[in-house]
Amino acid sequence: MSIRIPIEISARHIHVSQEDFEVLFGKGRTLTRKKDLSQPGQYLAEERITIRGPRGSFENVAVLGPFRKQTQVELSITDTKKIGVPHVIRQSGDIAGTPGCTLVNGDISIDITEGVIAAKRHIHMTPREATLLQVEDNDIVFVLTTSYERSLIYADVVVRVSPDFRLAMHVDTDEANAFASDTEPFGVLLKLFDSKRYSMDKWVNEVLEGIKR
Ligand SMILES: [Zn+2]
pLDDT at 56 over 60: yes
Summarize pLDDT for 6-39 with one digit per residue, the tens.
999 999 999 999 999 999 999 999 999 999 999 9
Summarize pLDDT for 98-142 with one digit per residue, the tens.
999 999 999 999 999 999 999 999 999 999 999 999 999 999 999
Ligand 1 centre from 170 Cα, in Å? 5
Ligand 1 centre from 36 Cα, in Å? 14
3-state secondary structure the chain: CCCCEEEEEECCEEEEEHHHHHHHHCCCCCCCEEEECCCCCCEEEEEEEEEEECCEEEEEEEEEEEEECCCEEECCHHHHHHHCCCCCEECCCCCCCCCCEEEEECCEEEEECCCEEEECCEEEECHHHHHHHCCCCCCEEEEEECCCCCCEEEEEEEEEECCCCCCEEEEEHHHHHHCCCCCCCEEEEECCCCCCCCCHHHHHHHHHCCCCC
User: What phi and psi, each to the nearest 5 degrees, are found at residue 78?
Assistant: -55, -45
Domain extent listing, the chain: 11-119, 121-208
End-to-end CA distance of the chain: 24
Ligand 1 centre from 201 Cα, in Å? 25
pLDDT at 86 over 70: yes
121-208, which class in CATH? mainly beta
User: What phi and psi, each to the nearest 5 degrees, are found at residue 205?
Assistant: -65, -40
Contact between 176 and 186 (Cβ < 8 Å) = no
Summarize pLDDT for 20-29 with one digit per residue, the tens.
999 999 999 9
Ligand 1 centre from 136 Cα, in Å? 16
Summarize pLDDT for 150-187 with one digit per residue, the tens.
889 999 999 999 999 999 999 999 999 998 777 789 99
Which pLDDT band holds residue 93 (cuts at 50, 70, 90)?
very high
Ligand 1 centre from 167 Cα, in Å? 10
pLDDT at 1 over 80: no
Pairing mode, strands 5-10 and 168-172? parallel
Contacts of 9 (CB under 8 A, 6+ apart): 170, 171, 172, 173, 175, 176, 181, 185
Ligand 1 centre from 209 Cα, in Å? 36
Contacts of 81 (CB under 8 A, 6+ apart): 87
User: What phi and psi, each to the nearest 5 degrees, are found at residue 208?
Assistant: -65, -35
Ligand 1 centre from 124 Cα, in Å? 6
Contact between 3 and 167 (Cβ < 8 Å) = yes
